[in-house]
């Protein structure tokens, strides 16, 4: 590690003793079948593998909690996260549906992320449905954490049982990456490709049924409803940018037509 | 008064071309019927440790007044420095308590210098939807209590104002959104969605430099330290040079099916094999095969997409291809909207049938 750059960071924060380290992973459901957003699965995997990697060096294991904001049926994804190995789960139960502004979601998540002193908060880089990629950086701003998005590599260097920074690589365009050192507590949004999410373990799944989900009602947390800062007007099909000639007929007919077209264009 | 601000995208001391697209989009917003009567102004902000040369260049190119935001601590892009200093710049009120230093005015003496350092009151803030823009725009929007619309790919008008479209649901749908009434809005614009103005302006804009140091009261020194920028893989010259690219996507289902794609590539002279991001993430192919924003941007005569659904980052990487042919089982696959020839079929079955011919 570059010593100079290490010390130019502000390390005045009380060191986090690894024995009490806590990671929060924000997850959401995508679709109607109880699937966890695929980027959030990468975030959860990263938290669980950090926990496993550091276990031999720590007095007490890292605790990994998950939190979701959504309708009552989303408790399913918390159970699923338990099955994967999450220790605790929070569910902020909401009644609204359809388009939900990232600002509203981040504000709701902050109710948990602010209350409990997490050392590391992870989210997926975006959800595959809303594709906004804003919940993480907005949550960081509300809670007051430094934030890096599109993280493709992490490592938690533990020195003398003290963990107070994380090393990350964030993905830029054209194969470039920025290597950063970030003071904890911090928030990272996790990009796909960082890891391969595990499958649920039977032992975890059996225990998952027994675990308690801490349920918080939105109305109790926020007596005044949080107002979205955008108005959703509706959806439409994306524009075509090319002609889009659809080949018809049997498989063989289509192959024949493609071959003829490629010949015409002198491509084959 | 309405003020439209464009944040220039600076990376490693260079102006990224997406900046010109942001300017074109700013003009489009300015000309909307609902805004036109309010005669909004456009300004471009250039954050850098030494913004003057970049700011001069942008002012000359666009004819728009530029504010060079000089941040001494900004050796390279860091999110918390950007968010803090941009917020200070936009909130600062020179009449009541200046929180920045005015360093010097433009060397373009010919243009009349207006009174510098007017209080900013942005109604629209335009940022590139890039790894950098996506990193700081949400936090900036939050600190300005602004609406935030990420990934804008289209701008249109109605009598009430401007409507922004952005992709959702794996790029199969566009969401139409507008900011809530009387809220400023932070927009990040997908590169390639807006055509830069081709004409160079005759009269350069004015340049003003404002210096803001990174000194957050809440937490003192910086919490994010940039160590270095690395390049993960050398560029794949094979993809850049290839006349034909046969590219594989998740529709292949099994890694073993990659063989069919390589066989198909052999049917063409000067062909290379490309891949969508998920395949590289799963380790089926090396990163140098990856096509898209985070991989290679390609311009072959023919791009043959096999089982690729078409994420926006992938589509942006193949825009310059002369022809795109797509094979996908799902007739709703987004890539079909950006293809010359669409073949709805099981990828492997189709390839095997085609090769036999």
**pLDDT of res. B233:** 67
- The nearest alpha carbon in chain A to B332 belongs to A237
Beta-sheet strands, E only, within A81-203:
88-93, 120-124, 147-155, 162-163, 165-171, 176-183, 186-190
Indicate yes or no: CB of B302 within 8 angstroms of CB of A265: yes
Task: Note the Cα B147 to chain centre separation in Å.
Answer: 19
Phi and psi torsions of B148, nearest 5°: -140, 120
Q: Report percent pLDDT > 90 for chain A.
A: 74
Q: Which residue has the tokens 């944040």?
A: B7
3-state DSSP assignment of residue A163: strand
Nearest Cα residue to B124 out of B187, B176, B65 = B187
- The nearest alpha carbon in chain A to B313 belongs to A173
3-state DSSP assignment of residue A97: coil
| Interface list for A 14-53 with B (CB within 8 A) | none
Beta-sheet strands, E only, within A87-145:
88-93, 120-124
| Three-class SS of A223-266 | CCCCCCCEEEEEEECCCCCCCCEECCCCHHHHHHHHHHHHHHCC
Q: To 5 degrees, how large is the angle CA A1–CA B230–CA B280? A: 120
Of B139, B225, B295, the CB nearest to A181: B225
Phi and psi torsions of A241, nearest 5°: -110, -10
> Cα separation of A112 and B353, whole Å?
56
Of A99, A133, A181, the CB nearest to B134: A133
Q: Is A116 on the interface with B (CB under 8 A)?
A: no
The C-alpha of A210 sits at a distance from chain B's nearest C-alpha, in angstroms, of 33
Of A182, A229, A256, the CB nearest to B147: A229
**pLDDT of res. B199:** 76
Indicate yes or no: CB of A130 within 8 angstroms of CB of B168: yes
Instruction: Report whether pLDDT(A17) > 60.
Output: no
Question: Which segment of A11-15, A74-78, B214-218 scores lowest on mean pLDDT?
Answer: A11-15
Contacts of A198 (CB under 8 A, 6+ apart): A45, A48, A84, A85
Pairing of strands B161-168, B154-158: antiparallel
| Interface list for A 146-205 with B (CB within 8 A) | 146-150, 167, 169-183, 186, 192-193, 196
User: Which residues in chain B touch residue A245, judged by CB atoms under 8 angstroms apart?
Assistant: 340-342
> Cα separation of A149 and A191, whole Å?
8
**Do residues B130 and B16 lie in contact, with contact meaning Cβ atoms separated by under 8 Å?**
yes
Instruction: Report whether pLDDT(A107) > 50.
Output: yes
Which residue numbers in chain B have pLDDT < 70?
A: 1, 93-118, 233-235
**pLDDT of res. A161:** 64
> Cα separation of A9 and A13, whole Å?
11
ipTM score of the complex? 0.90
pLDDT in tens, B87-138: 999 987 555 444 444 444 334 443 333 334 567 889 999 999 999 999 999 9
**pLDDT of res. B184:** 95
Of A150, A232, A247, the CB nearest to B343: A247
Nearest Cα residue to B282 out of B322, B248, B326 = B248
Exposure string of A219-233, with b = 16+ CB inside 10 Å and e = fewer, is eebeeeeeebbbbee
Of A9, A239, A262, the CB nearest to B223: A9
Indicate yes or no: CB of B340 within 8 angstroms of CB of A242: yes
Stretch A44-72: mean pLDDT: 92
**pLDDT of res. B117:** 56
Exposure string of B182-208, with b = 16+ CB inside 10 Å and e = fewer, is ebbbbbbbbbbbbeeeeeeeeebbbbb
**Across the A/B interface, how many CB contacts are shorter than 8 Å?**
266
Token pair belonging to B40: 């909004």
Task: Note the Cα A163 to chain centre separation in Å.
Answer: 22
pLDDT in tens, A218-268: 989 999 989 999 999 999 998 899 999 999 999 999 999 999 999 999 998
The C-alpha of A89 sits at a distance from chain B's nearest C-alpha, in angstroms, of 26
User: Which residues in chain A touch residue B222, judged by CB atoms under 8 angstroms apart?
Assistant: 8-10
**Nearest-10 Cα torsion for B227, B229, B233, B238:** -170
User: Which residues in chain B touch residue A186, judged by CB atoms under 8 angstroms apart?
Assistant: 223
3-state DSSP assignment of residue B112: coil
**pLDDT of res. B37:** 86
- At A19, is the pLDDT very low, low, confident or very high (cuts 50, 70, 90)? low
The C-alpha of B350 sits at a distance from chain A's nearest C-alpha, in angstroms, of 6
The C-alpha of A248 sits at a distance from chain B's nearest C-alpha, in angstroms, of 8
């Amino acid at each position: 590690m570059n010593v100079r750059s290490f010390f130019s960071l502000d390390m005045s924060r009380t060191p986090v003793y690894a024995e009490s380290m806590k990671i929060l992973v924000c997850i959401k459901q995508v679709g109607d079948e109880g699937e966890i957003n695929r980027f959030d699965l990468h975030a959860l995997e990263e938290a669980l593998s950090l926990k496993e990697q550091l276990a031999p060096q720590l007095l007490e294991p890292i605790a990994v909690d998950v939190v979701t904001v959504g309708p009552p049926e989303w408790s399913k994804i918390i159970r699923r996260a338990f099955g994967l190995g999450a220790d605790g789960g929070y569910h902020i139960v909401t009644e609204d549906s359809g388009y939900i502004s990232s600002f509203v979601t981040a504000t709701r998540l902050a109710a948990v992320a602010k209350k409990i002193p997490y050392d590391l908060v992870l989210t997926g880089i975006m959800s595959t449905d809303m594709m906004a990629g804003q919940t993480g950086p907005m949550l960081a701003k509300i809670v007051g954490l430094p934030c890096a998005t599109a993280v493709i590599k992490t490592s938690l260097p533990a020195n003398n049982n003290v963990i107070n920074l994380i090393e990350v690589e964030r993905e830029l365009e054209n194969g470039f990456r920025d290597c950063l050192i970030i003071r904890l507590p911090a928030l990272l949004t996790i990009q796909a490709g960082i890891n391969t999410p595990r499958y649920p373990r039977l032992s975890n799944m059996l225990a998952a049924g027994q675990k308690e989900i801490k349920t918080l009602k939105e109305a109790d947390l926020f007596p005044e409803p949080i107002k979205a800062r955008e108005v959703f007007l509706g959806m439409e099909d994306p524009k075509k940018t090319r002609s889009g000639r659809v080949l018809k007929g049997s498989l063989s007919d289509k192959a024949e037509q493609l071959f003829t077209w490629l010949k015409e264009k002198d491509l084959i | 008064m309405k003020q439209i601000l464009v944040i220039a995208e600076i990376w490693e001391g260079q102006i990224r071309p997406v900046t010109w697209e942001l300017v074109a989009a700013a003009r489009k917003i300015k000309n909307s019927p609902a805004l036109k009567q309010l005669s909004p102004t456009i300004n471009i902000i250039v954050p850098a440790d030494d913004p003057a040369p970049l700011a001069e260049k942008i002012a000359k190119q666009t004819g728009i007044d530029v504010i060079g935001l000089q941040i001494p601590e900004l050796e390279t892009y860091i999110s918390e420095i950007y968010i803090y200093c941009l917020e200070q710049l936009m909130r600062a009120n020179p009449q009541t308590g200046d929180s920045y230093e005015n360093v010097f005015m433009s060397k373009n003496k010919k243009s009349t210098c207006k009174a510098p350092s007017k209080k900013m009151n942005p109604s629209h803030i335009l940022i590139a939807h890039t790894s950098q823009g996506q990193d700081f725009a949400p936090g900036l929007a939050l600190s300005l209590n602004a609406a935030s619309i990420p990934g804008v790919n289209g701008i249109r008008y109605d009598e009430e104002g401007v409507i922004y479209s952005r992709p959702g649901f794996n790029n199969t749908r566009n969401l139409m959104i507008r900011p809530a009434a009387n809220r400023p809005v932070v927009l990040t614009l997908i590169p390639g969605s807006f055509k830069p103005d081709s004409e160079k302006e005759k009269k350069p804009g004015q340049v003003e430099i404002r210096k803001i140091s990174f000194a957050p009261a809440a937490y003192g020194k910086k919490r994010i330290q940039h160590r270095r920028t690395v390049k993960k893989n050398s560029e794949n010259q094979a993809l850049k040079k290839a006349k034909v690219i046969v590219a594989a996507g998740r529709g292949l289902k099994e890694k073993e099916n990659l063989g069919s794609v390589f066989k198909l590539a052999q049917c063409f002279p000067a062909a290379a094999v490309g891949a969508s991001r998920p395949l590289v993430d799963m380790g089926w192919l090396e990163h140098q095969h990856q096509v898209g924003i985070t991989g290679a941007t390609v311009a072959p005569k023919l791009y043959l997409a096999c089982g690729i659904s078409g994420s926006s980052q992938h589509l942006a990487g193949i825009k310059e291809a002369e022809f795109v042919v797509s094979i996908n089982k799902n007739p709703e696959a987004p890539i079909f909207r950006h293809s010359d020839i669409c073949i709805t079929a099981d990828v492997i079955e189709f390839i095997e049938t085609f090769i036999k011919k």
